[in-house]
Amino acid sequence: MRLNVLFVAVATIFATASPLKADGGQTPPAVKAAEGSPTRQSLYSVLDGYLAALKTQDATRVPWAEGAVYTENNVALKPGDGMWRTVTALGNYDFRFADPTTGSVAFYGTVEETVASSPFALRLKIKNGRVAEAEAVVARALDAGLPFVNGNLTPRPELNEMPKAAEKTSREQLIAVANGYFDTLQRNDGVLHTQFEPGCNRREDGMQTTNHPNTGYFGMDLGCAAQFKLGIYRYDDELRARRFPLVDEERGLVLASAFIDHSGHLGSYTLTDGRPATSMFRRPHSFYLLEAFKIRRGKIQAIEAVFTSVPYGMPSPWSAERTQR
């Protein structure tokens, strides 16, 4: 009954999103150029228009499709609500990739809201040059549920490297590699279900959380594979509602979405090297994330993630998956 009520409420919000039109209902030139089969450049053009509109707090400048859906931190909102009303500037960080096959584009950057700067990730689904879906995750320091959030992101050249022809893999394999990462993270017991490049680094909410010594956080001095082989993340009970809505085959990038659920029941546990460890989550808790994986030769080379705390077991507006255990 609770979920039925929730989905009815979400459907109501979605239904009220459609009246927004760009340019008084006229078809903007950028939309006309993007109609038909999307290209990387046409998707980037719509993204640029979306970001320009966000800077001015004017969602009516976005070419919304009829019945467009907008979510922020896993909550369905009317386009123009949420950070659309609080943004004061966008930072200079700009990591983007696109999937012309599905008409999707992703963006990682930073958003300033008055005095706070936060990492944020954005996914757009474009149909006939118009925004049919917009999904944003903003890691605000007061809400993210982490002791570290860095709103001053610096470029990562490895994310934008073009893999050679021999280093590329199929769409299906790219998704399998990213999904294997979630399998490895879930109830992390030291077994790897995916492969990593030797120099793999992960950045979460603006903080490099691998190969980063002297942070004061256990295990951050280790690489991607070494952390998982040690079984540090045993307390991550479930990687739930996994989605892979965007695959950039040309550049070897996958955008993934999921929840990390912590039941809070695990207290002390033993790492694979015999050392004792203590869970950092002793209460029911969930993260919601948009995570980008850079993959070369079938191995994860780099990870860029933005995630924030949400109510434990929260369902997704993007999936009707039931979450009862």
100 shares a domain with 38? yes
CA 304 – CA 188 distance, rounded (Å)? 20
Q: What kind and span of H or E run contains 31? A: helix 29-34
Q: What is the pLDDT of residues 309-318, one digit of tens each?
A: 999 999 999 9
Final residue of a structural domain among 109, 138, 167: 138
Asked if residue 10 has pLDDT above 50, the reply is no
Which of 21-30, 86-95, 197-206 shows the lowest per-residue confidence on average (mean pLDDT)?
A: 21-30
Q: Is residue 230 part of a domain?
A: yes
98 shares a domain with 26? yes
Asked if residue 104 has pLDDT above 50, the reply is yes
Helix, strand, coil distribution of the chain in percent, nearest 5: 25, 35, 40
Q: Is residue 185 part of a domain?
A: yes
Segment 258-279 mean pLDDT: 97
What CATH number is given to the structural domain containing 200? 3.10.450.50
Q: Is residue 147 part of a domain?
A: no
Q: Is residue 321 part of a domain?
A: no
pTM as predicted: 0.90
256 shares a domain with 201? yes
CA 8 – CA 249 distance, rounded (Å)? 36
296 shares a domain with 230? yes
292 shares a domain with 187? yes
In the numeric block, the tokens 């993340």 are attached to: 233
249 shares a domain with 168? yes
Using alpha carbons, select from 241, 278, 284, 234 the residue that is nearest to residue 263.
Answer: 284
Confidence of residue 319 (pLDDT cuts 50, 70, 90): confident
Q: What does pLDDT average to over the chain?
A: 91
169 shares a domain with 300? yes
Final residue of a structural domain among 87, 107, 138: 138
- Could you give the number of structural domains in the chain? 2
Segment 85-92 mean pLDDT: 98
Confidence of residue 98 (pLDDT cuts 50, 70, 90): very high
Q: What is the pLDDT of residues 284-316, one digit of tens each?
A: 999 999 999 999 999 999 999 999 999 999 999
295 shares a domain with 224? yes
Task: Kindly state the percentage of the chain with pLDDT values over 70.
Answer: 87
188 shares a domain with 300? yes
293 shares a domain with 175? yes
Contact 111, 83 (CB under 8 A): yes
**Cα-only R_g, the chain:** 20
90 shares a domain with 195? no
- Report the 3 state secondary structure along 143-209: CCCCCCCCCCCCCCHHHHCCCCHHHCCCHHHHHHHHHHHHHHHCCCCCCCCCCEEEEEEEEECCEEC
State the residue range of the domain holding 39: 2-138
Q: Is residue 203 part of a domain?
A: yes
202 shares a domain with 111? no
Final residue of a structural domain among 138, 172, 197: 138
Dihedral sign, Cα of residue 179, residue 180, residue 181, residue 183: positive
